[in-house]
Every structure is written in C-alpha cells, then in structure tokens.
Amino acid sequence: MFETFIIPVSPMMIRTRYLKASLMVICISGFLTVFYVWTRCGEVGSARHRHMPEWDTKKIPNIQDSYVGDPIERGANDLQGYEEIDCHINGEFTVGCRKEGGEVYLPFSFLHKYFEVYGKLATYDGYERFEWSHSYSKVYYPKGKYDPRGVFMYFENYNVEVRERVKCVTAIEGVPVSTQWEVQGYYYPTQIAQFGLSHYSKNLTEPEPRSKVFEDGDKELASWEVPLGASLSRVLDAGAGSYVAQFNSPDSLPSGVFLKVDHVLDFILSLNLKLSGNSSFTVVLQNREKREVFHLHYIFSDLLISAQDQHIYHGIGLSSGWRRITRDLIVDLQKGLVYQNKPKRKLSRSKFKVMGLIFRGSGSLDNLTLSSSEHLAQFYDAARWFVRHQDPSTGGWPNPVKRRVAPGMADLEPGWYSAMGQGHAISVLARAYHHSGGDPQYLRAAVAALRPFRVTSAEGGVLSSFLGKFPWYEEYPTIPASFVLNGFIYSLLGLYDLKTISSPDYVKEAADLFDQGMSSLKRLLLLYDTGSGTSYDLRHFTLEFATESSALGLSRHTCQPTAIVGHHRPGPSPHQHRGEMDRVHEWQTGCPQLMSP
C-alpha cells in the first residue's frame, strides 16, 4: 500500500511563482517591441532620405539675427510623442516634418526661405523662446508732426558707422566709406547723408554730452611728459587766433610727447590740429578686463585704414593747415579689428579706457577734448562733404561704382545719380542751413541739387515716367525704369524739407517737384500691393519677364519712410502700409487720407 502524502503549499509560494512568470512575459514582450521599432525606424528613415529632394533653392538675404536652423535629422526620435512624416510641398518636393497628435510641424529653416518670414531664439529671465516676425525691419510710429528743422524720421535710433558695409569713418573727411558694391571702399552719398541725419537727430534727442578739455593752450594746461630732446610750449598762433600747444619730437627719439589720461566712458576725441609732414598722434586704449592695449595711430597720409595686430592706422590727409578732427575711438578700434578679419564682436565701451596720447613729429594742437558725444560736429562733417563734393555742372553727387540692379536692366556705370541720395543730401543741407543761422553755402548746394530731378534717367538724371504720365524720381535710374518705392519717398522728403526751410526765392521749384511726386505716389502706390506684402519696385510691370524679388511678391519691403534706413526691407501687410502712408501724409501736411480719391 502506498501512503498518500499531502505537501502543504503556502500562499507565499504561489505568489512568487506568479510574479516570476509575469516578469518573464513582460521582458520577452519588451524585447520584441524594441526590436520591431528599431528595425522599422531604420527602414523608414532611409526610405525618406532616398526620395527627399533638395528644397533649398532660393537666395536669402544675409540677416544677422535670423534663425535659419539646420534641417531635421531624419530618423532621430530624440523627443517623445511624435513621429516623422513627409510634407509634400505643392506636388513639387518633399520636406521632412514631425507629427504630434493632429498637428504637423515644419522646420523653420524651410518656412524662413519659402515664405520669407524671420525669427530668432531669445532668452528672457533664463527662459528660451522663439520670436517670429514677418519683417526684419522695425516700424516706428510718429511721435508728433514732422518738422524739417527737427529729428529726421527715426534716425536717432540708427548708428550708421557701425554697419558692416562701412569700412571706416575716414579721418580725412569725417564721413563713412562704404564697401556695399566695392570692397576697396568709396564715398556713397546716400550713406554719408544717413550718417549726418542720424547725428543731427541724436543731438536733439540725447542728453547734454559730458565733456572734458585736457589742453587748450590757455586756461586748461595738461601735464605733458616731454622726453629729453623734445619740446612743448604754449604760443599765440595767428592762424588759430588763440594760444595753442606747440610740440616738437624728432624722429630720432624712441617716444614722443606723452599725455597720461586714464579716462573712462567718454571716447569721442576732438581737437584742433596742425601737423607738418611725417607727423602723427597716437591714442592708447586698454581693455580693462583683458588688459589688452591697442594703439590708434592718426598719421599724415591719405591712407583710409590699415592695421596690424594691436596697431591701427587712420590717415588724416596731407593738409598742413589747421583742421578740426572728431573721432569715435571705439568705432576706429572696431573697424581696425574687422580690417584684420578678426572675429566680429561688439565692443563694450564700459570695458575700455583711454590711457594716454602721444604726439610725434612737429605741429600744434588746441582744444584737446574727450566727450561722450559730438553729434553736431559729425553732422557738419557730412554737410560740408556735400558742399565740397557737389558736381557744379549737374548739382548732383555721383556714385562712383558700377551697380547691377536686376537681370534685363542695363548696368549703372560709375557716375550715376540717385534720387534717394539727392533727397537725403537736401535733407542734410536744409537742416545745416537752418541750424547755422542761414549760412548761404548750404542753401546754394541744396537748391543746385534739384537739377537732376528735371533730367531724365536716359540723359543722366533721375527722372522717369510711368506709362508716360506719372513722373517718378528714381533711386536707381535704370533702363528700363525700376520705380523703387522707398528711394522715391525719401526723395520727396528732401524736397519737402527744402520747400519748407528755403527762402521765398527758391520755394516754388522745390514745391513743384514735391507736388508732382506726391501726385504720382497717390496714383501708383497700390501697384506695389502684392496681397501679402509690399513690392520693392515695379519690375514686374517694366520688364518683359517677372523677376523673383519683385513679381512674386517675395521681397516684401518696408517702403514707408517711417520704417527704413537702408534698402531691401521686408515690410508690413498692404493694409498696414496704406494706413501708415495716410499717417505719414497727415503727419507732413496736416491733410488726412493720402489714399483717398
């Protein structure tokens, strides 16, 4: 007989066996799931790569702060809750996108180029966000009625000399040298005028500048360090009409006459200077954080700018007479660093100090000053440039570079005139005439500048006609005509300034040109409406074929003068544009509704 044994099984043993079985099932399921997803990701990613053509086919403006991120890496599921999906664009090509629930996300690098929208990543209080904009220009609204004697539009917000396309502010003329269409550098009247108008406007809107006079030969006498063999004395100079500091430091000496300054925050140097041949002066700057020392040399030469390591050279010309020199030392330093192709960086004025000045050779100086600003001096540098360099036979300021505007148009050969440049220059000269108390040289130059407005583009002027009926002042006097909008509006502003400020003898001519221009603007403005923006010009009417930047409405420029300083600015919607033009017209004339019949 067999005995029956009953083995007791506790509830704990049953639960343990159940848990082991469950864990095994979960592990096997997890492994199979991961293996399946891994194999599918590789197949989908490679398949999508195979049929995604290149969509980056449009040329985009070089915008410093635009976000144009890299295309999404296909097959890289670093985020949770989304899947990759193809976006087929108008049946033409495919872009890699991402899908999350019912939403589909396109890469901004594609949107930026396809729709000409702009954006950038910004951080506020430690949190990052993406800022989207339909324009990379800022629209400013009028603070009051426009006054030709006051601030020019919104130019107090602009610093022309720090633009990348400005090679330097020449120490010979005191105005910017441009590299926009020629890397060697040239004088571009439009940019010189913007430089002057910006400083005139800043003078009216900024606080009274700080200023410290170090040496005037009479009341303010500096403590100069004069090496053995050199000399410095104060003498009465007949040409200056005052006491000046006269120095002499032979070339044989290792160092010149030195003035220790140790001055911070104020970096606008101004002085009256008279040098003999082969003489110079040097400003020593120091970065207070990095302890780097830089030498800005201002030499008796026609050189624009040169640099080597920490030594930067600016020519002040070959004149042996008295001259007034005004220099922004930080701008001069920055342009010297850019000249050497060093990494671009914004120089913080708070991190620098002026250590001292060194004078070599022989000459005289007076009113040696460091200030926080010298806006009026820089404005008059621009105004005097226009007086000195105006062509007496045409009344214009020629652009000395070749300009290719668009395919299908004849190139503009060196010597062409611009209605925008003429208008800007007139705005400068009108303000100089007013501010100087009626100096006739500025009024004469402004009135003479009206001549190109009466000469057709084909004959070397700036006048064209739309359909043979509507006069238009061309920023670029191309053949066929291009009818650029923003340059035309700026030319009208110059005419308005002159007719308002001019003496009664000259009002009628400027007023007639302004009135016929405003009449054309009222009738043609809607032709620039693309439905989603504002066209830069009317090439889509004047050329046999439509160009990309005009006909397709892809170049939506801020053409109203309340928004632009330069060219090629994307702009607001047509309704915003028309409303803004109404405000500008009322702002100028007191008459509402530019666009009304």
DSSP string, 125-171: TTEEEEEEES-SSPPP--SS---TTS--TTGGG--GGGSTTEEEE-T
Torsion sign, CA atoms 405, 408, 413, 418? negative
Which of these, 272, 245, 280, lies nearest to 361 by C-alpha position?
280
Residues 6 or more apart whose Cβ sits within 8 Å of residue 171: 298, 314, 315, 316, 317, 325, 327
Q: Is residue 140 part of a domain?
A: no
Q: Are residues 353 and 328 in the same domain?
A: yes
End-to-end CA gap in the chain: 123
Strand-pair category, 311-315 with 293-299: parallel
Which of these, 257, 206, 287, lies nearest to 368 by C-alpha position?
257
Q: Is residue 21 part of a domain?
A: no
Q: Are residues 368 and 401 in the same domain?
A: no
Burial class, 223, CB count within 10 angstroms (exposed 0-12 / middle 13-18 / buried 19+): exposed
Which position has the token pair 């872009």?
95
d(CA 580, CA 586): 10
- pLDDT 10s per residue in the chain (597 long)? 444 444 454 555 555 566 666 667 677 777 777 666 565 554 444 444 434 344 443 333 343 344 444 444 444 445 567 899 999 999 999 999 999 989 999 999 999 888 888 898 988 888 899 998 877 667 777 788 899 999 999 999 999 999 999 999 999 999 999 999 999 999 999 999 999 999 999 999 999 999 999 999 999 999 999 999 999 999 999 988 899 999 999 988 988 999 999 998 899 999 999 999 889 999 999 999 999 999 999 999 999 999 999 999 999 999 999 999 999 999 999 999 999 988 777 889 999 999 999 999 999 999 999 999 999 999 999 999 999 999 999 999 999 999 998 888 889 999 999 999 999 999 999 999 999 999 999 999 999 999 999 999 999 999 999 999 999 999 999 999 999 999 999 999 999 999 999 988 889 999 999 999 999 999 999 999 888 778 899 988 887 544 444 433 333 344 345 433 333 334 444 444 455 455 445 544 555 445 444
Res 579: pLDDT: 52
Q: Are residues 466 and 381 in the same domain?
A: yes
Q: How far is CA 58 from the centre of its chain?
A: 23
d(CA 474, CA 466): 11
- Backbone φ, ψ for residue 9 (5° rounding): -115, 120
Q: Are residues 574 and 503 in the same domain?
A: yes
Q: Are residues 266 and 358 in the same domain?
A: yes
Q: Are residues 192 and 82 in the same domain?
A: no
* Burial letters 62-100, b for 16+ CB under 10 A, else e: eeeebbbeeebebbeeeeeebebebbeeeeeeebbbbee
Reported as a single tens digit per residue, the pLDDT across 69-102 is: 444 444 444 556 789 999 999 999 999 999 998 9
Q: Is residue 468 part of a domain?
A: yes
3-state helix, strand, coil in the chain (%, to 5): 35, 25, 40
Strand partners, 231: 248
Q: Which residues span the domain enclosing 405?
A: 155-206+377-589
Q: Are residues 257 and 353 in the same domain?
A: yes
d(CA 57, CA 48): 20
Last residue of a domain, one of 100, 133, 166: 133
Q: Is residue 382 part of a domain?
A: yes
383: number of Cβ within 10 Å: 28
Res 37: pLDDT: 57
Last residue of a domain, one of 101, 133, 165: 133
∠ at Cα 509 (443, 434), nearest 5°? 25
Report the residue count for the chain.
597
Strand-pair category, 306-308 with 470-473: unpaired
Last residue of a domain, one of 372, 401, 428: 372
Which of these, 58, 113, 52, lies nearest to 85 by C-alpha position?
52
d(CA 418, CA 439): 26
Q: Is the separation of the CB atoms in 513 and 491 below 8 Å?
A: no
Strand-pair category, 352-371 with 293-299: unpaired
Give 106-130 as a DSSP string: --HHHHHHHH--EEEEEEETTEEEE
Classify residue 336 by its DSSP letter.
Answer: H
Q: Are residues 185 and 222 in the same domain?
A: no
Q: Is residue 449 part of a domain?
A: yes
Q: Are residues 459 and 417 in the same domain?
A: yes
Q: Is residue 485 part of a domain?
A: yes
Q: Position 363: which residue type? A: G
Res 126: pLDDT: 83
Q: Position 411: which residue type? A: D
Residue 237 sits in a domain of what CATH number? 2.60.120
Distances 520 to 379, 423, 465, 487 between C-alpha atoms, Å: 32, 17, 9, 14
Q: Are residues 506 and 547 in the same domain?
A: yes
Reported as a single tens digit per residue, the pLDDT across 418-455 is: 999 999 999 999 999 999 999 999 999 999 999 999 99
Q: Is the separation of the CB atoms in 492 and 518 below 8 Å?
A: yes
Res 217: pLDDT: 92
d(CA 556, CA 569): 7
**Total domains, the chain:** 3
Q: Is residue 595 part of a domain?
A: no
Q: Position 509: which residue type? A: E
Q: Are residues 81 and 63 in the same domain?
A: yes
Distances 299 to 257, 358, 468 between C-alpha atoms, Å: 15, 12, 54
Q: Is residue 32 part of a domain?
A: no
Q: Are residues 249 and 107 in the same domain?
A: no
Q: Virtual CA dihedral for 345, 350, 352, 355, nearest 10 degrees? A: 160
Q: Is the separation of the CB atoms in 564 and 137 below 8 Å?
A: yes
